[in-house]
Amino acid sequence: MPSEVESGDLKSGRKPVRFVTTCLLIGSAFVPAAAQGIKTSQYFCTVEFSGGIAFDEVRKEWIGTAFRPGAKFIVRLVYEKTRPVKDWPNQRIDEYLVFVTQAGTNKREDCKTPGKDRVEIYDEPQARWMFCSTDKHDYRINFSNNRFIRAFLSSGYFNYVEDTPSVGGGTCTKIE
């Protein structure tokens, strides 16, 4: 029995149907996995500097202070959908579910944009960035330069309790 090459299919300019079908099936098997890998990811973040206000027991007053940095956490982004921007017809916004896990714990916290179910990641000429809040922290993360700012805006200062509001920042490394 002659092969497809010997039968003249390639010489006549037609590619063998079986060969093309096999290539399409093999190639398409990898497309969803590749797209999902781009859209869903994790970042390992380390606080490199931190400061805020604290109550000085000796002076009996609130003072500005530096805190010891070093907290670590993981940010997980799970792609949900892409939608057009209402006033900018050529732009789109990706929407994600975002979770934050503090290092040394197994507690995953939802991080949401206030008033929304998903977090929007903005693509601007200078940066790809997002903001979201957990029960304890507000986060601003720039995925273009791998930097973040994290704020703990407790009620300690204005309610006379021991919480100490702080702002910290650092870098994130993509791990998935």
pLDDT in tens, 108-138: 999 999 889 899 988 776 788 999 999 989 9
For the record, the structure tokens of 57 come out as 């027991």
Neighbouring-strand partners of residue 140: 131, 149
Domain ranges of the chain: 1-39, 40-174
Q: pTM of the prediction?
A: 0.72
How many Å apart are CA 126 and CA 122, to the nearest integer?
A: 11
Q: What is the pLDDT of residues 27-75, one digit of tens each?
A: 333 333 333 334 789 999 999 999 998 888 899 888 999 999 999 999 9
Contacts of 45 (CB under 8 A, 6+ apart): 72, 73, 74, 75, 141, 148, 170, 171, 172, 173
Q: Which two tokens stand for residue 174?
A: 């993509």
pLDDT bucket at 161, cuts 50 / 70 / 90: low
Asked if the model's pLDDT at residue 105 lies above 70, the reply is yes
User: Per-residue pLDDT averaged across 153-158, rounded?
Assistant: 69
Residues with Cβ within 8 Å of residue 73, at least 6 apart in sequence: 44, 45, 100, 101, 102, 103
Q: Give kind and range of the element (H or E) at residue 123.
A: strand 119-124
CA dihedral 6→10→13→17, nearest 10 degrees, is 110
pLDDT band at 87 (very low <50, low <70, confident <90, very high): confident
Residue with token string 């509001």: 165
Position 124 scores a pLDDT of: 73
